[in-house]
Amino acid sequence: MKVVRHGCKPANISLIALVIGAFSFTAIAEQQYERSGAGVSYVSDSSSADIGHASVNYRPVADVVSELAQVVFYYPQGELPAAIYVDRELQSALKPGEFSVFCVAPGTHTVESYFNDQPGYQGKQKPSHQLAMKAGETYFLQVNPGSKGTTTALADRAIAEPLLKPLSKQTRIVNRASQVKPCEYVMGANVASIQESVLFQFGQSGAKAILPESQAKLRTVIDFVKQGSGTAEIELYGYTDAVGHTESNQRLSEARAQTVRNVLIQGGVEPSSIMATEGKGVAQNAEGCVAGRTAGCNINSRRVDIVVR
């Protein structure tokens, strides 16, 4: 394993691979989405240029419950997209400037980023490194620049979080790793306990337009907040894709944020805990996206981002 040393210590993690080949990164994202059947793992739609960036910036993550271990995978700089695999299955694919947060059951898992290794895909077929994850622990894994194989390094929180601060959450790729579980957090410190995206159908903002997986996410958020100490602070930010007029998209983004607010309150969340309900218009990851209903960057732009502190 190749490791670039800059305050990070090498992680004992498994070799896995990604097929990128001749397909564009956006095309792969769309294919992954369509194979999943509907909206994502981790919220009229104006044209507004980096397709790769999601709009949720990193906030310090809280401690997870003892039944889970948490991984923060981040890619500060580089040129090529990197596949993120968990136990030989695709969790996400990061472009430079992106991060992904996910949880697994405590124990030993193969967790790896990988650059092009086609056509043999030896990293995926014969993983040789593993990471033993302890209950309740958070692991920060950094993707360093490279063009072949893996450059993953394990970093301390104090080193990782200054690099994570300007990064954006990856939202294009639907998680397909069966061992990945929803993160559940210990309430307390002023950190982001939950960061989720609720996806909507094209051009719609009503509660019935929320995609099924996102409806399940909303229930998880509601349960989490209600089980906490009552001191949660919630922020809601609505977005649209890049189809339509600027004014219409602004109104649509505001309506989506208000819908999620209403659903949370109807579920038992105290209205006073919702500190922000804002429409942001066209999502940054939709800027420059090919117009259409099925493009991956459009699908994941029709959303409301939820941040629970």
The per-residue DSSP string of 33-85 comes to: HHHH-S------------TT--S-B--PBPPBPTT-EEEEEEE-S-SS-EEEE
Per-residue pLDDT of 146-199, as tens digits, reads: 888 888 899 999 999 999 988 988 877 778 889 998 887 776 555 556 778 899
Sequence ranges of the domains in the chain: 9-308
Q: What is the pLDDT of residues 29-39, one digit of tens each?
A: 333 333 332 22
CA separation for the pair 218, 260 (Å, rounded): 8
Residue pLDDT, tens place only, 267-299 = 999 999 999 999 999 887 666 565 555 555 678
> If you average pLDDT over every residue of the chain, what do you get?
76
**pLDDT at 261 > cutoff 90:** yes
Nearest-angstrom CA–CA distance, 221 and 271: 14
Give the global pTM: 0.57
Which two structure tokens, joined as six digits, stand for 44?
């009229």
What pLDDT band is residue 103 in, cutting at 50, 70 and 90? very high
- For the segment 202-221, the average pLDDT, to the nearest whole number, is 91
Cα dihedral across residues 264, 256, 42, 69: positive or negative: negative
Check whether domain 9-308 has CATH 3.30.1330.60, yes or no: yes
